[in-house]
Amino acid sequence: MGIFDRFKKEETTTHDQERLEAGLEKTRTSFFGKLNRLVRGKDTVDDEVLDRLEEVLVTSDVGVKTTLDIIDAVQARVQRDKYVSTGELNALIRDEIARLMLAHAPGHPADFEAPLPHKPHVIMVVGVNGVGKTTTIGKMAYRYRQAGKSVLLGAADTFRAAAVEQLDVWAERAGVPVIKQGQGADPAAVAFDTLAAARSRGVDVVIIDTAGRLHTKGGLMDELAKIKRVMDRQIPGAPHEVLLVLDASTGQNALRQAEEFTRSVDVTGLVLTKLDGTAKGGIVIGISNEFQIPVKYIGVGERIDDLQVFDRQRFVEALFR
């Protein structure tokens, strides 16, 4: 990496951290407001503090399972050291949150500049309508293209009116082509054609949009499974990644959506959108830990470059700033 490339990367990292800190402002203010009230007038972490800490974490959308994991870790530290001050509580929680969130899995590179294990590298994006799925795809395409990779989009959400047009708009912004058919077309056929075009064109990255809702929940999951089977016939092993997009502002609803999708689809990574507009950013911690799936990207704004590679250490630093 040349010196100018290094400076550019450092500048991007600084910009991303500033955007992340700004995006987590509501979550940080809410969480620490509760935490400060919790320890006010207390010198040590006792049973009362632990009970109130449990309430703070649950009401911050961390989730019940993850809350209990954090409480267990704090209790173990208290029992081991016999004396833990409330001043140490923040550090304890910070370390445990970082430990609970999964790192990225091998073969699923998070950084847009990283070498890809397949060519084309096929990504299927799933999620219910309204979570920012198509927007996320456009931002991913832009970031990959900025990293020097060729990208092709597949408009396999043929169920929702105007879905193809919406993807077209984002593709134009990102400067990438789209393979599409009309509304009502077979989504699996669109995915098949997209992969065939990607192979013939020597494309680096393929991103497939999918429907967020059919007439029944079972119908949606069956459709996604069919798309996966058809893609595997065109390119064995495809899709190489299945990203589930969730709206962080919906809190526990996002957790329930994750439960539905992970039960039916082999989700390899999570994308949490709209973190900048919510105080429910704790859901990022809970979902990653509960489902043992790494968070890959987070959305912290409306601009096309406001999709960030998720870094659990930077997330914790921004949350506890």
Which pTM was predicted? 0.88
CA 248 to mean position of chain CA atoms: 9
Cis peptide bond prior to 120, omega within 30° of 0: yes
- State how far the Cα of 254 lies from the Cα of 172, in Å rounded to an integer: 29
Q: Which of 244, 313, 298, 312 is nearest to 19 (CA)?
A: 298
The answer to whether the CB of 210 falls within 8 A of the CB of 158 is: no
CATH code (residue 148): 3.40.50.300
The reply to whether 133 and 240 lie within a common domain is yes
Domain count, the chain: 2
| 44 phi/psi in degrees, rounded to 5 | -130, 160
pLDDT tens readout for residues 150-193: 999 999 999 887 899 999 999 999 999 999 998 889 999 999 99
Residues 69 and 172 in one domain: no
Please report the pLDDT score of residue 108 as a whole number: 62
Q: Do 132 and 247 contact (CB within 8 A), yes or no?
A: yes
Which of 132, 163, 61, 122 is closest to 299 using CA atoms?
A: 132
What are the backbone angles phi and psi of residue 24, rounded to the nearest 5°?
A: -95, 10
Asked if 146 and 217 sit in the same domain, the reply is: yes
Mean pLDDT over 275-284 rounds to: 83
Band of pLDDT at residue 7, cut at 50, 70 and 90: very low
In a domain, 111, yes or no: no
Asked if 59 and 35 count as a contact pair (C-beta separation under 8 A), the reply is no
pLDDT at residue 19, rounded to an integer: 80
- Alpha helix positions (H), the chain: 3-23, 25-39, 47-59, 64-81, 89-100, 133-146, 163-174, 187-201, 217-234, 252-264, 283-291, 312-319
Q: What confidence tens digit (pLDDT) does each residue in 202-220 have? A: 999 999 999 987 545 668 8
Answer whether residue 15 is part of any domain.
Answer: yes
Q: Do 95 and 227 lie in a common domain?
A: no
Instruction: Judge whether residue 10 has pLDDT over 50.
Output: no
